[in-house]
Structure 1
Amino acid sequence: MNTATDTANASRRASRAAPLASFAADIRRDLLDREPFTFRHRLLGHPALSLQNLGRAIPALPASQVYYSSGRLERGDDFDRAHVDHANGLSIEETIETIRTSDSYIMVRAAETDASFQPLFRELVSDVQELMRERRVGRVAHGATLYLFIASPGSITPFHIDRYSTILMQFQGSKEVTVFPAWDDRVMPSTVREGFVAHAGPRPIWDAQAEPLGTTFRFAPGDALHIPFVAGHHVRNGPGEVSISMSIIFNTDETRRMTQAMVLNERLRRLNLAPAPVGRNAWRDGAKAALWAAGARLARGLR
């Protein structure tokens, strides 16, 4: 394989591709859900991400969309329960006001619920769907959602995996994100990965021995990072400034099929069978997804 030639060919393809409103031309369109990579975004200075707007919008959102906790977490903590197990003892208004000094972490789900984020959300969805079309993995960004992350200096986001693809954009402060190979059983066993994706098993537990397998990306305002579907990762914010970042999450037709295949695997294991892990053979994964979809249609027809 000639890496220099591959890079040059990718660059030529990008120059011929349709321009994107929110993402700069250095985005690796060919690597979507194949590998993590950094690039530049064009959204610095967007009014929706101003401190004034965030201070207004976040407290106005339903409480079920706003999670906040202490930022003094460890990589192995349960990220999904941080707001319960590591509460910071403050209200959301107090947390926002003291975020520079209170060692706190705020995560907002579905920020597009607030009208100020709607134009930005539509622009990002349009760009993501253009990337999907070029990769031939679908035309609709299924379940697209915006997440906001506001964190005190030095805060840690514990290791976790997501059931979707992610593009993370930095607006203030700096951070380090360590991303691990999505389908490597040395990071987590396939049984754990598939059970978690199927909503039928425990969350993945951090194994410090897997740390050398990760790639650490350091980025600052204007930088963005693509985290592939089910790629484990953890985050450390920089020491000097409050970190403000936003991600758009989504599923492609391809990742939906892989989800279906993992759900089927989890059901087969309940029958004491040992199916081959998802992520190793595209043809086999596609057959499993088709089988699961056919079974689901049959079940609906019998109701």
Structure 2
Amino acid sequence: MTAFVATRAETQNGSGEARLIALDPGKMARSFPAEPFAYRHFLAAHPLLQLDALAQLAAGMPRDRLEYNSGRLKVDQKPEETPGVDLEPTEIVRQIETAGAWMVLKNVETIPEYGRVVEAVLDEAARASGHRDRRSAGMTEPMGFIFVSSAHAVTPFHLDYEENLFVQLHGDKAMHVFDNRDRSIIDEEGLETFPGKHRNHRFRDHYASREQVFAFKAGDGMFLPYTWPHWVETGDDWSISMAITWKTPEGRRLNKLYFANAVLRRLGIPQAPPGQRRWLDGVKVALYDIARLPLEPLRRGEAMRRMLRTALFGRAANYYYGKAGKT
């Protein structure tokens, strides 16, 4: 597929600097960050985002930053029945045209050159929303996730706990998006999360009448708000796409509450949704921060991250290792 090619004028801002995304300030004012919307970008030809570069990236990343399986999944895929793919990560990338696979490279922002791309995109988004840069806009914890998928691959129904500027880099893809305010699709318990809980959610056929479908080719992008449920399918060609994400202060607070509520619910203690008991929400957030503080230095290495997940949440917390994660 031919990558999107922009003119020199389109890819420069008022100062003559290269642009990475084309966000309309008017659309940002109307929709951001409450509603999803489409936009264009100029990242499809970026040298760091081509197959050869991504194969090298996969070869050097910690194993818990790589997740892959067969792309032949159902929208309503049961996690325990997810088929694997018998290839090493670098070979999945190199053979993606024929591998029948789906793969994500997580937290690529930890690699300096990829981190600079993530930060530059978020700075542009912040300026389009009327701020000086990402920091003044309250965009914390910038992250990047790169998806490499074979043709006709499905990412099952799920939701994410960050704001997301999604960009399509090669091939075509469709994202089926649902309003996160509709509790008949994902209820309060469904929003709760912890490392041992798989991201996939049950999908009912009647949900389809409430979907909004975004179709992408190289050069297309969309903003996906916090916790908006969605599922994704690639078209007739292999695909590369990237999620450039961040957390807002309110999103970080909600993540802590969803985590705390999930843990307490596992202990058999019913939980009210965030916002109903604000004083109790404050206690949960404070306890979360206290409990997390001594663990942060230990999470810098892969082996320790894996051990902590297993000790705190059981073997299922390492599900993305495949068979290795269950030993």
TM bracket, shorter-chain basis: 0.7 to 0.9
Match of 2:250 in 1: 254
CA RMSD of aligned residues (A): 3.4
Change over 3 Å in CA distance of 1:115–1:253 after alignment to 2: closer
2:118 match: secondary structure: helix
Structure 1 residue 47: deviation in Å?
Answer: 1.2
Matched, 1:42 2:39: no
Q: 1:25 and 1:98 mapped to 2: Cα distance?
A: 34
Q: Deviations over 1:40-87 (max 9, x none)?
A: 1122311111222122222222222111211101111256x78xx421
Select which of 156, 161, 165 maps to 2:163.
Answer: 165
Matched, 1:179 2:181: no
Q: Deviations over 1:162-218 (max 9, x none)?
A: 111111100110111001111211112222213x2x558665322222121111111
2:73 match: secondary structure: coil
Change over 3 Å in CA distance of 1:273–1:157 after alignment to 2: closer
2:189 match: secondary structure: helix
What amino acid sits opposite 1:65 in the alignment?
R
Q: 1:113 and 1:298 mapped to 2: Cα distance?
A: 25
1:169 match: secondary structure: strand
Match of 2:232 in 1: 235
1:247 match: secondary structure: strand
Match of 2:213 in 1: 216
What amino acid sits opposite 2:223 in the alignment?
H
Change over 3 Å in CA distance of 1:294–1:100 after alignment to 2: closer
Q: 2:47 and 2:183 mapped to 1: Cα distance?
A: 42
Gaps of 5+ in 2: 1-16, 293-327
After superposing the two structures, state which structure 1 stretch, 154-163 or 69-78, moved more: 69-78
Q: 1:54 and 1:67 mapped to 2: Cα distance?
A: 14
Structure 1 residue 133: deviation in Å?
Answer: 6.5
Select which of 112, 123, 127 maps to 2:124.
Answer: 127
Alignment of 1:1-303 (within 5 A): 21-26=19-24, 28-30=27-29, 31-78=31-78, 85-130=82-127, 134=131, 139-194=137-192, 196=193, 203=199, 204-239=201-236, 241-263=237-259, 275=272, 277-278=273-274, 289-293=281-285
Residue pair 1:192, 1:202 contacting (<8 A) in 2 also = no
What amino acid sits opposite 1:88 in the alignment?
V
What amino acid sits opposite 1:29 in the alignment?
M
Q: Deviations over 1:11-37 (max 9, x none)?
A: xxxxxxxx9942213363232331111
Q: 2:278 and 2:247 mapped to 1: Cα distance?
A: 16
Count of equivalent residues = 273
Change over 3 Å in CA distance of 1:25–1:94 after alignment to 2: closer
Residue pair 2:56, 2:90 contacting (<8 A) in 1 also = no
Residue pair 2:180, 2:229 contacting (<8 A) in 1 also = yes
1:87 match: secondary structure: coil
Residue pair 1:260, 1:288 contacting (<8 A) in 2 also = no
Gaps of 5+ in 1: 1-18
Residue pair 2:55, 2:91 contacting (<8 A) in 1 also = no
Change over 3 Å in CA distance of 1:287–1:151 after alignment to 2: same
Q: 1:205 and 1:220 mapped to 2: Cα distance?
A: 28
Q: 2:156 and 2:138 mapped to 1: Cα distance?
A: 30
Query: Under a length normalisation based on structure 1, what TM-score does the superposition of the two structures give?
Result: 0.76
Structure 1 residue 128: deviation in Å?
Answer: 4.4
Query: Under a length normalisation based on structure 2, what TM-score does the superposition of the two structures give?
Result: 0.71
Q: 2:56 and 2:203 mapped to 1: Cα distance?
A: 36
After superposing the two structures, state which structure 1 stretch, 25-34 or 248-257, moved more: 25-34
